[in-house]
Every structure is written in C-alpha cells, then in structure tokens.
Structure 1
Amino acid sequence: MSTEASSSEIILEEWNGSSSTKLSRTATITASPSLRIQRSGGRFTHVWRRLLQAFVPEGFPSSVTPDYVPFQVWDLLQGLSTYIRTMLSTQALLSAIGVGEKSATVIGATFQWFLRDLTGMLGGILFTFYQGSNLDSNAKMWRLVADLMNDLGMLMDLVSPLFPSAFVLVVCLGSLSRSFTGVASGATRAALTQHFALQSNAADISAKEGSQETVATMIGMALGMVLARFTMGHALAIWFSFLSLTLFHMYANYKAVRCLALTSLNAERSSILLEHFMKNGQVLSPEKVSRMEHVLPMWTTSWSSKSAKQMHMQVHFGVRVSSFNHLELMDLLHSAGSHYKKAKYLLVEKKGIVSAILHKDSTAADALQSFFHALVMASLTEKSKSVHLESQSWMDKQYGVFIQKLRSSGWKTERLLSHSIIWKANWVCGPLDSKID
C-alpha cells in the first residue's frame, strides 16, 4: 500500500499481488471532502484472477519454465481422453465380473477384484526394483511409455468379456500393465515438476496440477458416462470410440513430451551436446537438443536410421571390475598406473566399447567428467589408435571450456542423470606396485 497526505486530502490505495507476481491497484480511497471508494477494474476481473490462482502456480508465468503451458495443455487433453475411456473399460470389466447377473456371487466377484489388485501391487514392486533408478534419467521416455502401458491395460479390461475362460488372466495382465504406469508416471512427474519450478515452488506446482487434474477428471467422467450410455449394447460403437480416443491419447502424449526442454544431463543429451561441440565448438540450447533426442526406446527407431547408434551407446558406465577377463584386467592395471593416476575413474576401450569404472571416493562431478571422457574416447576409436592419450589431451584443453559453455547455455552440470552405480573400485598407484580392489 502507499499513502499520500496533504492538508486538504488523504488518499489510500489498495494493491493486489505478492512478491512474485505483478502488483495491480484494485481500489482508491479518498477522505476529502467525504469518504469515497473508487474501484479499479471490474468485479469479473477480480473474480477471474482469484479463480485462476487455484489452477496456476503463484507468480505464473515467470515462476515456471516456458515449456510448462504447452506440456500441461497436452497433458490435460490426454488425461481427459483417459477418463472417458475409463468408463468404457470399467463398464466392460464389471459386466465380465458378473454385475447385474443373478448367477454371480459376491464372494466370486470380490476374489477376482482382489486378485486383480494384488497382481498390480506386485507388478509395481517388481517394476520399481528393475527400473526405479532409470526413471529419473529418462523421464521423457518413461512418461510416454507409462501412458502407452496404461492404454494396454485399459484394452485388456475392454476385451476381458470376450474371453470368459481366461478372464482372470486377462484382467491380471491389464492390472500388471497399469501398475507399471502408476510407478513410472508418478516418478517421472516428480522429476518434471522439479524441472518446471524456477523459484523453488515444486510443491505449489504439484498442488495446482492436482486442481487441474480434478477438473479434467470431473469433465472426463461426465463425458464418459454420456458416451457409455449411448454406446451401451453397441459393440461396434464402443470399439470405435475406444480406439479413436486411444489414438488421440497417444498423439497428445507424444506432443506433451516433445514440448519438454529438459536442462538436466543424461546419457543421450550429453552425447548430442558433446558431438556437436567437438564438430563446431558451440553448445546447443536445451530447446534444440529436445528436438533431437529420442522419446521412445531406441529399439523402436533404430530400424529406420542407420546412424541411430549414438556415442552414449558405446559407453558402459559403472562397470564391475571382476567382469573383465585376464587381458582386460592387465590393461586396466596399466591404465591406472599411467593414464589415470590423478583421476577418480578408469576407462577401458575394447572393440569400440568404452567401459567406465568409478573410484569409491568419486563425486558427482567425477562421474560427469568420466562419462564425457568416455564419450570423447568412443568418438576417437575409429580415428586413432592412441585413444587414451588423445582423449586425455582433449579433456585437458577443452573440458573446462565445454562445461562453462554448458552452464552459460542453461544446462545443469552438477551431476549426470544415470542408472544407479552400485559397483565401484579402489586403486593405489605406487613406485613398486599397483593394486585394484
């Protein structure tokens, strides 16, 4: 608030906003010759502003990244499609269980529903065990895969009435598929929320997303009930509606992840950035890299491109020492005593594949450096025979410049997003012996 005083008039102004939003004057109060209130803007504008605050983060749009809006739009559209299809698949599932039939028993339907949920719970645990550490490093890919698995699960529910003898098996497979969706979608959403938060406002973004999804859920349920009502008893109409909405759901999900311009470094983004820097001496922006990276698993697109094999596919990160044979161990010992005396990692190259071993005392910065060093070595395997010396020379001259340019271009260089490194090593280089544990 601000006040101005004079001998004949006092003015009191009311302002609306916070430290992170643009302040706007909403009312002016004067006390001379009599008390008078003059409101700025219409009542509708004020109500609309208050309503909007329930659905967008405080300080929007400056408090979130530029890719927040397009991602949320496509994400809500795909969510709306999911909620509409849920009514169709649930209707088919309940019909298959026996709801509405006199011959159906409560205990039988309860057992089948329990077995379905139990399968989903076990599937979620197993998926977390095998892929939990990989979700953060490939958030875009797993976000898309999660929704595709959800489509598969809903399809299983829809076809379950067609196979009464294998009903339990089909329903359990659908629940298993959706369990992957729950784990992958929740984990990747947390990573994306951190990406969107520019002012340490991840909790606010998450809360407002909950409000957006609630509205989308209500609209989707209402439309789904109307659609289920009109298509009841018409198998062709049900399948046409379901498949059409599924195709739109897949398209909306693809557009959503394509909107994302993540600034964290994972294996593929690091490979793209380094390859371009080694050729042109420049660092690509997150927006340009986002258009070049894969959002589907590599095996789904490698058949259409002979150049799909990127440098990061030639790097095995966090390798177990005991997995090497005798000759490779001798090479490893030689490298520890000659090329990597001061480094917190070891690199071994064989037939174009570079294996990276981290020291037990290595930090996040060491892990990032070791991966970029391995990428440099991988790029030299077909051009040079002394890959250790040439890659080390490049690292000594260019790595510092490269990291600085990454930071100035908006990339986060604190750590490398990779799978969990559970195998490390320790080596001690002395004048008489070299030892690896």
Structure 2
Amino acid sequence: MAQSILKKQPPSARIEIEEIDESKHVVATYLAFPAGGKRGSSSRIDVVDSLQAFSSSIAGMLSSRAVLEGIGVGDSGASPTAALLLSVLQESMGRIATILFAHRLGTSLEPECKMYRLAADIFNDSAMILDCLSPALPKPSRVVLLSCSSVLRSLCGVAAGSSKASLSAHFATQGNLGELNAKDSSQETIISLMGMLVGSLVVSHISSKWATWSAMIALLAVHLGTNYLAVRAVSMRTLNRQRANLVFSNCFEQIDKELQPKNIADQVAPIRIPTPEEISIGERVFERDGVLRWQGGKALGFCRIGVDLQTILNLFGEPNQASGSYTSTQLAEFEKLLELYKDDEYIMWFDVPRKTFMVVLRDTATVTTQLSAWMHALSHAQYRGVPRTQDDKALMEDLRRSKQHVSRACGSYGIFEQLQKAGWDIETGAMETVSGTRIKVKESNSSASAKDQ
C-alpha cells in the first residue's frame, strides 16, 4: 500500500523508497509526491560429545521399549492396524512440526547455534520421557502423548541438523568441512554402536518401573550435563546479539575511562578487544530474544534489526484508513528522523510500549552496519536510558547524541579493525534472527518519470 512521506524536495521532485526482502523481491514501495500529485501503490569437546551420545543411545533403547509396550507388543488383543495408524499419525505430526519450526525459526538457527544445539537435546530427552510415560496411560491419552513425542523429535531434528552445520563450519578452519563431517559421522556411528551393545545388556537386566526410571533419569542427566559442557566449551567467532552486548559494553567501558581525564581531541590510546575465548566464558547458552544487556547484567531494553519501514512509520501514528497516507505532522517528524540518519545505512527509532529499538536497514547495509546499529541501541539504552513516554523531540535529540558517541568509538578507536585483529569474524552476519527487509531510497524528477511512462 502506498504511503505519502519523506523529505522536502523541489516541486518537481519526489523520493521513492523500495522495500526488498532477502530474495531481492520488492515487497512495498513508499512514495513522496509534491502537493497535488498522485500517489503510487506499494579438544575436550570430542570427549563430552562422545559421552553424551553414548548415554543417549542407552536411554533411547529404554524409551523404545516403553513405546513398544504402549502400542501393544505382548498383548494378544492389540491390533496391527491400530499400531500402523498410530505410526502414521506420529509421522504426520512430526512432519508438520518440522515445516512450521523451520519456517518460524529458520533464520535464528545459525546465529544462535549453541542455544539450539542444547535445545535439540532437551527436545529429544523430553520425547524419551513422554515415551516412558505412555504405557501407564489409557489408550486415547497414549496416542496424544506419543504424538507430542514425535513432534519433539522433529523439533530436535531441525534444531540439531542446522546447529550442527554451523558448528561444523566453525571447526573447519582449514576449509575441510567435508572431511570433518565424515569423521564426525564415523565417530558418532561408533559411539552409537557401543551404546547399543551396552544398552542391550542394561535393558535385559532392567525390568521394574523403579529401575527403568532410575536408569533413565541418570542417563538423561549425564546426556544433558555433558552436552551443556560441550556447548559452553565452544568459542564462536561471529558476533551474534549476545556476544555483541558483551564485546561492545566492554569497549565502551574502556573508552569512557580513557576520555574521563582527557580532552576528546587528545590522542586516544587503543582499547583492548576481548577475544572469542574470553567472551565465551560469560556467554549464556539461553538468552532472551533481542535483549540489550550491559556487561551481562540486567536487561536494559530490546532491539530488532531488519524491520520493515512501515513499523517505524506507524510509531509516529497510524495512517488514514481510507487513503493510507500520514498527516503532515507525522511526516514532519519522520523527515527529521531521515535527516538524522542521512549518512548512515540504517534508520533507528524507539517503540515505547515494547521498550524496543526498531532498526530499518538500507539495501547497501553490511554486517558492520548491523553491528553499528546494535552498538547504537546498546549505548543509548545504557547512557540515555529507554524512554518512558513518547516524547519525539527529546528522543530525537538523545538519538543524535548517542549516535555521535558511537561514531567517535568507531572512528577514533577503530573498533571494527580491532575486532578483526582480536579474532572476530565481522564478515558473517549473525545479528538477524528473523528474515528482514531492506529499503532502497530513490530520488527522481516526477516530470521525467511521467515522460518515461
């Protein structure tokens, strides 16, 4: 849908903003026309990994036995057709869950690969517990329980497969991804085989419910505990949102100390960027989506990167339902925001009710653009605080000051250059966890445009 917006231009000029998705398809067009104009339309990791795979194999055999009991193995009154239909239902539920999960969270699997790698095992272990509970329930409830178990296993498959691919790429430092995957697959096969052999002995000696649950809980505790240690031991080199919080807050702490006794114009001393290994020590496996934290402390607010332009436009007021256009007051405020970010590859505004910084990216935005926007939001939340009321004038001024603070940090201290020297990968994007859009601003002459048409 077309919207009337933007900066003051000569009477014959207009601004056209195209919004494109990840596939470079235009999803919306925003036009600003002169008055009266028409509106257009719109190392130890291997050890713990082996141990967790070994314990999972044995626990899987116990849960499989429970499932067989639940579908009637050993019961002369059980129907093969009923067992088949249950299998079809489980498979169908699992495939639907796979499609929905991949659609909803596909973009966030790589940036948050450590979190989803551990979440995959939690899904899998939860499915095993449901399987063990199924024989104790009546048949109708058993069907629901086993269907939920199938859904959890499907979620595990998507999360584990995607996160494993990202982790494998992280460890393949010499470009030997194929070799690494082959060796990892061989190792996993050997460990699973050993687990099955040991599990055969364990299962044959465990028959009572008390013994089954005791063994299951112990094995799952070992499985999750070792997997947690394995995930914590990984030091990712890409900057996702949580690692960006830790790195940038550390940088700003040093910059503030450096500037306190000196004049800003004085020669600045280089700051020390924490390495990926140092950051991984303070990194949480599970973190809230888009949260801004200073030095790992309490939440200051939230930030979303890659939102569509209309999300920000609507923060200045909803458009007219009939014409789809905005009032002159709303447009005047938006003009100021565009002027503030005219030399940047992003636009940022604040959503007071959600306590969230909204960032729109231009089509020329790079990974460093996303990092700059996140740095801006984090710095603003720490030093200026999040607004409690919608005062556009005060917020605009605060954004200008915090943006100057970030520009000085990036320019005088060369943060991005030092990030690379410290071992960080600033060429691989890991800040967006939802498929976002980009905007392309075009300035053209309306008369020339009409002649071309």
Is the Cα–Cα contact under 8 Å of residues 367 and 415 in structure 1 kept in the other structure? no
Q: Compared with structure 1, are the counterparts of its residues 185 and 306 closer, same or farther at alpha carbon in structure 2 (3 Å cutoff)?
A: closer
Looking at structure 2, the residues matched to 126 and 322 of structure 1 have their Cα atoms a distance apart, in angstroms, of 26
Residues 1:175 and 2:150 are matched in the alignment: yes
- 2:310 maps to which residue? 322
Shift of residue 132 of structure 1?
0.8
Deviation above 4 Å: which 4+ runs of structure 1? 327-330, 428-431
Question: Comparing 91-100 with 190-199, which one deviates more in the overlay?
Answer: 91-100
- 1:223 maps to which residue? 198
State the AA in 2 paired with 1:96: G
- 1:279 maps to which residue? 253
Looking at structure 2, the residues matched to 430 and 375 of structure 1 have their Cα atoms a distance apart, in angstroms, of 36
Unaligned stretches of 5+ residues in structure 1: 1-68, 432-437
Looking at structure 1, the residues matched to 380 and 124 of structure 2 have their Cα atoms a distance apart, in angstroms, of 40
Residues 1:289 and 2:286 are matched in the alignment: no
Q: Compared with structure 1, are the counterparts of its residues 330 and 104 closer, same or farther at alpha carbon in structure 2 (3 Å cutoff)?
A: farther
- 1:308 maps to which residue? 298
Residues 1:411 and 2:385 are matched in the alignment: no
Is the Cα–Cα contact under 8 Å of residues 128 and 183 in structure 1 kept in the other structure? yes
2:122 to 120, 132, 148: 148
Shift of residue 428 of structure 1?
5.2
Q: Compared with structure 1, are the counterparts of its residues 226 and 154 closer, same or farther at alpha carbon in structure 2 (3 Å cutoff)?
A: same
Q: Please list, as runs of the form range in 1=range in 2, the aligned pairs for 1:50-65 lying within 5 A after superposition.
A: none
- 2:264 maps to which residue? none
State the AA in 2 paired with 1:170: L
Count of residues in Structure 1 that have an aligned counterpart in Structure 2: 357
Q: Compared with structure 1, are the counterparts of its residues 286 and 329 closer, same or farther at alpha carbon in structure 2 (3 Å cutoff)?
A: farther
Q: Compared with structure 1, are the counterparts of its residues 395 and 140 closer, same or farther at alpha carbon in structure 2 (3 Å cutoff)?
A: same
Looking at structure 1, the residues matched to 156 and 68 of structure 2 have their Cα atoms a distance apart, in angstroms, of 22
Unaligned stretches of 5+ residues in structure 2: 1-42, 255-270, 318-329, 387-393, 446-453
Question: Comparing 256-265 with 355-364, which one deviates more in the overlay?
Answer: 355-364
**Higher-Rg member (1/2):** 1
1:333 to 332, 335, 357: 335
Partner deviation per Cα, 1:37-81 (whole Å, 9 max, x = no partner)? xxxxxxxxxxxxxxxxxxxxxxxxxxxxxxxx2122111111111
Is the Cα–Cα contact under 8 Å of residues 348 and 360 in structure 2 kept in the other structure? yes
Shift of residue 430 of structure 1?
9.5
Q: Please list, as runs of the form range in 1=range in 2, the aligned pairs for 1:342-353 lying within 5 A after superposition.
A: 342-351=343-352, 353=356
Residues 1:362 and 2:365 are matched in the alignment: yes
Looking at structure 1, the residues matched to 120 and 296 of structure 2 have their Cα atoms a distance apart, in angstroms, of 27
Q: Compared with structure 1, are the counterparts of its residues 414 and 91 closer, same or farther at alpha carbon in structure 2 (3 Å cutoff)?
A: same
Shift of residue 374 of structure 1?
3.0
Partner deviation per Cα, 1:203-224 (whole Å, 9 max, x = no partner)? 1111100011011111111111
State the AA in 1 paired with 2:284: H
Question: Comparing 364-373 with 171-180, which one deviates more in the overlay?
Answer: 364-373
For the residue of structure 2 that corresponds to 1:265, the secondary structure is coil
Shift of residue 330 of structure 1?
4.6
Shift of residue 175 of structure 1?
0.7
- Output the TM-score relative to the length of structure 2: 0.73
- 2:437 maps to which residue? 423
- 2:219 maps to which residue? 245
- 1:376 maps to which residue? 379
Percent identity between matched residues is 27
For the residue of structure 2 that corresponds to 1:290, the secondary structure is helix
State the AA in 1 paired with 2:366: T
State the AA in 2 paired with 1:127: F
Shift of residue 109 of structure 1?
1.3
State the AA in 2 paired with 1:334: K
State the AA in 2 paired with 1:332: F
- 2:11 maps to which residue? none
- Output the TM-score relative to the length of structure 1: 0.76
1:139 to 106, 109, 113: 113
Shift of residue 139 of structure 1?
0.7
State the AA in 2 paired with 1:340: Y
Is the Cα–Cα contact under 8 Å of residues 305 and 436 in structure 2 kept in the other structure? no
Shift of residue 329 of structure 1?
6.0
Q: Compared with structure 1, are the counterparts of its residues 257 and 329 closer, same or farther at alpha carbon in structure 2 (3 Å cutoff)?
A: farther
Is the Cα–Cα contact under 8 Å of residues 101 and 155 in structure 2 kept in the other structure? yes
Looking at structure 2, the residues matched to 147 and 79 of structure 1 have their Cα atoms a distance apart, in angstroms, of 10
Shift of residue 119 of structure 1?
1.3
Bigger relative CO (Cα 8 Å, ≥ 6 apart): 2
Is the Cα–Cα contact under 8 Å of residues 80 and 217 in structure 1 kept in the other structure? yes
For the residue of structure 2 that corresponds to 1:283, the secondary structure is coil
For the residue of structure 2 that corresponds to 1:200, the secondary structure is coil
- 2:398 maps to which residue? 387
Is the Cα–Cα contact under 8 Å of residues 282 and 296 in structure 2 kept in the other structure? no
Q: Compared with structure 1, are the counterparts of its residues 121 and 350 closer, same or farther at alpha carbon in structure 2 (3 Å cutoff)?
A: closer
- 2:235 maps to which residue? 261
Is the Cα–Cα contact under 8 Å of residues 368 and 415 in structure 1 kept in the other structure? no
Looking at structure 1, the residues matched to 332 and 48 of structure 2 have their Cα atoms a distance apart, in angstroms, of 54
Q: Compared with structure 1, are the counterparts of its residues 266 and 103 closer, same or farther at alpha carbon in structure 2 (3 Å cutoff)?
A: same
**RMSD value, Cα:** 2.6
Residues 1:79 and 2:53 are matched in the alignment: yes
Q: Please list, as runs of the form range in 1=range in 2, the aligned pairs for 1:180-191 lying within 5 A after superposition.
A: 180-191=155-166
For the residue of structure 2 that corresponds to 1:316, the secondary structure is strand
State the AA in 2 paired with 1:406: L
For the residue of structure 2 that corresponds to 1:416, the secondary structure is coil
Looking at structure 2, the residues matched to 190 and 94 of structure 1 have their Cα atoms a distance apart, in angstroms, of 33
State the AA in 2 paired with 1:366: T
Partner deviation per Cα, 1:320-371 (whole Å, 9 max, x = no partner)? 22232335765433121x2221222111135464221111343344333333
Looking at structure 1, the residues matched to 66 and 302 of structure 2 have their Cα atoms a distance apart, in angstroms, of 47
Q: Compared with structure 1, are the counterparts of its residues 359 and 399 closer, same or farther at alpha carbon in structure 2 (3 Å cutoff)?
A: same
Is the Cα–Cα contact under 8 Å of residues 321 and 425 in structure 1 kept in the other structure? yes
Looking at structure 1, the residues matched to 168 and 332 of structure 2 have their Cα atoms a distance apart, in angstroms, of 46
1:199 to 146, 171, 174: 174
Q: Compared with structure 1, are the counterparts of its residues 102 and 349 closer, same or farther at alpha carbon in structure 2 (3 Å cutoff)?
A: closer
